[in-house]
């Protein structure tokens, strides 16, 4: 549009603002872990069982094989034998009486375990040498 003699042209000016950011490193953090062996002593109880077998003669005729049984904490296992008579009969010839008792023993075992320690170091950063720049 052209201005005529009677019209004055007034230009309109707009201002705009722009914000930028810049990454700046001011300090560096270095974190390390160091593993150090330490000696410890473990205290434990070890339990073992001692088994004793006693042979007890019986020589008793039975109709069928008796089952394994437990009496007063003793396991009794019948041992069988067939004997030839005029007829075949089953006899318990002996029993195995098996006694079980527990034994507790205290032991100390030295072991080596690792324990980690964290070291945090802080170091200033020279701003002239920082790569990057404006975003």
* pLDDT(101) > 50: yes
Percent of the chain with pLDDT over 70: 88
Would you call 105 helix, strand, or coil by DSSP?
Answer: strand
Would you call 14 helix, strand, or coil by DSSP?
Answer: coil
When pLDDT is averaged across residues 82-103 and rounded to a whole number, the result is 85
Name, in order, each residue with C-beta under 8 angstroms of 98's C-beta and a sequence gap of 6 or more: 51, 52, 53, 54, 74, 75, 76, 77
* pLDDT(129) > 80: no
Tokens of 117: 């320690």
111 within 8 A of 85, measured Cβ to Cβ = no
């Amino acid at each position: 549009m052209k201005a005529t003699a009677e019209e004055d042209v007034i230009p309109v000016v707009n201002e705009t603002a722009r914000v930028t950011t810049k990454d700046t490193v001011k300090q560096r953090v270095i974190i390390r872990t160091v593993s150090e062996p330490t000696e410890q002593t473990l205290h434990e109880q070890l339990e073992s069982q001692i088994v004793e077998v006693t042979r007890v003669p019986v020589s008793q005729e039975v109709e069928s094989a008796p089952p394994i049984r437990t009496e007063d904490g003793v396991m009794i296992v019948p041992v069988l034998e067939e004997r030839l008579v005029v007829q075949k009969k089953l006899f318990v010839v002996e029993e195995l009486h098996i006694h079980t008792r527990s034994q507790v023993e205290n032991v100390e075992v030295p072991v080596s375990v690792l324990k980690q320690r964290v070291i945090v170091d802080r170091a200033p950063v020279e701003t002239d040498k920082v790569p990057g720049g404006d975003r």
